[in-house]
């Protein structure tokens, strides 16, 4: 590869990273940004800006515009810093914030080692250090992508493998200088250098489009989750609860223990929003959900149907047992006021309890539970009322 070819490749890498910075500007202002953590995305954008500056400086040095004594050490120092920041952003997005600082420290150490090698030998040792250190930093990014391999999507696994292979190819250039300076058979030193340059270009593309595609994928998963989960309380919403209820409706047609349904409604909740504000009302709703979870088994399920009305599914629970569970939750709510900025907010709730019958549809099931809830309200609130039991309920 001639010096002109090398300069052209470096210039392509510089322009490519600059284009990614521009692309990130639009990506960061669209709805897809929710698929990639905002702080991690900002760090990733910074890494691309630093790498663009690094390749630009190296290209200017190769063209003779900037003195080589300044362009080479300065360009590689920026490059190591950019790739280290990129790896830190990947660890942060993977949920391992503790790895971000060691990654940045590794980038600083790589800069120091490279500068020492550059001072000792501007050619051979410098090329060896640059390839090995870059390969190691890119492998760190591949490890971040591979974190949580079992739960990772096929796209994330593919990107982790591609990044690892390309990183090893970059490092192989340095290993060849150390172990096989004259090449090996058809794999000459010049050919391996071309492979290494191509690997750097592909790493830029794979990382950039990988982040965008992973962001789109995660945003899609989050949208799908929000279709069945209430964002305020993080429990199933009406659709999610009905989806979970469906198989238990089918099982009710078979012999065995019944499944109970509890419907609860917070008493006079409007006074909370009117008197203390909606943030206090939201805190009350989250508090009630936590109280419910503490009284339930792992197999039980609480969901938010609408407003301040919740439903609790109690698999394999008879009517009298379900009444006891509802009573425990009622007592917990009544005895656990919620602390707000302005006051302690006391709340009570009314409950309607029934069990799923073989002939039930969701309409008849909830109609019966709502009738029992209405009876509890009419009896003075802060009560548990059970639906009229059929012969099979007892």
For residues 116 and 129, give the distance between their C-alpha atoms in angstroms, rounded to a whole number.
Answer: 10
For residue 202, the model assigns a pLDDT of 85
Of the pLDDT bands very low, low, confident and very high (cuts 50, 70, 90), residue 176 is low
The pLDDT of residue 1 is 42
Instruction: Report, as an integer, the average pLDDT of 371-391.
Output: 89
Using the CB atoms, write b or e for 86-114: b if 16+ within 10 Å: bbbbbbbbbeeeebbeebbebbeebbeeb
**What is the side-by-side order of every strand in the sheet holding 349-355?**
301-306, 309-314, 260-266, 349-355, 384-386
CB 192 within 8 A of CB 176: yes
Query: From start to end of the chain, where are the E strands?
Result: 260-266, 301-306, 309-314, 338-339, 344-345, 349-355, 384-386
Residue 42 — pLDDT band, cuts 50, 70, 90?
A: confident
- Assess whether pLDDT exceeds 60 at residue 183: no
For 67, other C-beta atoms within 10 Å of its C-beta total 10
pLDDT of residue 374: 95
CA dihedral 25, 26, 28, 29 (to 10 degrees): 120
pLDDT level of residue 35 (50, 70, 90 thresholds): very low
Between β-strands 260-266 and 338-339, what pairing exists: parallel, antiparallel or unpaired?
unpaired
d(CA 222, CA 8): 42
Q: Dump pLDDT digits (tens) for 318-369.
A: 999 999 999 999 999 999 998 877 788 999 999 999 999 999 999 999 999 9
Q: For the chain, what percent of residues have pLDDT higher than 90? A: 46
Q: Which two tokens stand for residue 28?
A: 């960061």
Half-sphere exposure (Cβ direction) of 116: Cα atoms closer than 13 Å: 7
Nearest Cα residue to 40 out of 141, 110, 139, 135: 141
Can you tell me whether residue 374 is helix, strand or coil?
helix
Average per-residue pLDDT in the chain? 84
Query: What Rg do the C-alpha atoms of the chain give, in angstroms?
Result: 31
Q: Tell how strand 349-355 and strand 309-314 pair up.
A: unpaired
Residue 254 three-state SS: coil
pLDDT of 286? 95
SS3 91: helix
Nearest CA among 155, 73, 160, 65 for reference residue 117: 73
Comparing 14-23, 33-42, 275-284, which segment has the lowest mean pLDDT?
33-42
Band (pLDDT 50/70/90 cuts) for residue 59 is confident
**Predicted confidence (pLDDT) per residue in 223-264, tens digit:** 888 889 999 999 999 999 999 999 999 988 888 788 999 999
Alpha-carbon separation of residue 28 from 1, 32, 92, 206, 336 (angstroms)? 38, 8, 17, 19, 43
């Amino acid at each position: 590869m001639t010096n002109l070819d090398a300069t052209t490749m470096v210039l392509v890498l510089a322009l490519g990273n600059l284009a990614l910075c521009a692309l990130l500007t639009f990506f960061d202002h669209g709805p897809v940004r929710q698929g990639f953590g905002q702080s991690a995305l900002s760090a990733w954008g910074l890494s691309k800006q630093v790498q663009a500056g690094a390749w630009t400086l190296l290209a200017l040095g190769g063209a003779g515009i900037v003195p080589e004594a300044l362009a080479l050490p300065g360009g590689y120092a920026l490059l190591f810093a950019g790739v280290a920041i990129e790896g830190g952003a990947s660890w942060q997005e993977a949920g391992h914030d503790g790895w971000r600082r060691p990654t940045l420290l590794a980038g600083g150490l790589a800069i120091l080692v490279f500068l020492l090698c550059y001072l000792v030998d501007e050619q051979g040792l410098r090329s060896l250090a640059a390839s090995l250190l870059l390969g190691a930093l890119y492998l760190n990014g591949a490890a971040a992508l591979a974190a949580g391999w079992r739960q990772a999507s096929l796209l994330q696994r593919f990107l982790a493998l591609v990044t690892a292979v390309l990183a090893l190819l970059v490092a192989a250039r340095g290993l060849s200088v150390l172990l096989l300076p004259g090449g090996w058979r058809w794999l000459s030193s010049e050919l391996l250098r071309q492979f290494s340059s191509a690997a750097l270009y592909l790493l830029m593309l794979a990382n950039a489009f990988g982040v965008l595609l992973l962001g789109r994928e995660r945003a899609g998963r989050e949208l799908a989750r929000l279709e069945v989960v209430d964002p305020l309380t993080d429990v199933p919403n009406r659709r999610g609860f009905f989806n979970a209820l469906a198989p238990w409706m089918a099982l009710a047609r078979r012999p065995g223990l019944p499944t109970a349904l509890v419907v609860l409604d917070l008493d006079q909740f409007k006074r909370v929003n009117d008197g203390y504000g909606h943030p206090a009302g939201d805190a009350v709703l989250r508090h009630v959900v936590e109280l419910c979870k503490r009284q339930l088994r792992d197999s039980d399920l609480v969901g938010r149907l609408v407003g301040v009305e919740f439903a609790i599914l109690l698999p394999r629970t008879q009517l009298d047992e379900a009444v006891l569970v509802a009573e425990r939750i009622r007592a917990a709510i009544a005895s656990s006021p919620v602390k707000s900025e302005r006051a302690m907010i006391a709340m009570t709730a009314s409950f309607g309890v029934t069990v799923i019958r073989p002939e039930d549809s969701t309409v008849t099931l909830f109609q019966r539970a709502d009738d029992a809830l209405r009876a509890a309200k009419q009896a003075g609130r802060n009560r548990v009322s059970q639906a009229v039991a059929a012969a099979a309920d007892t």
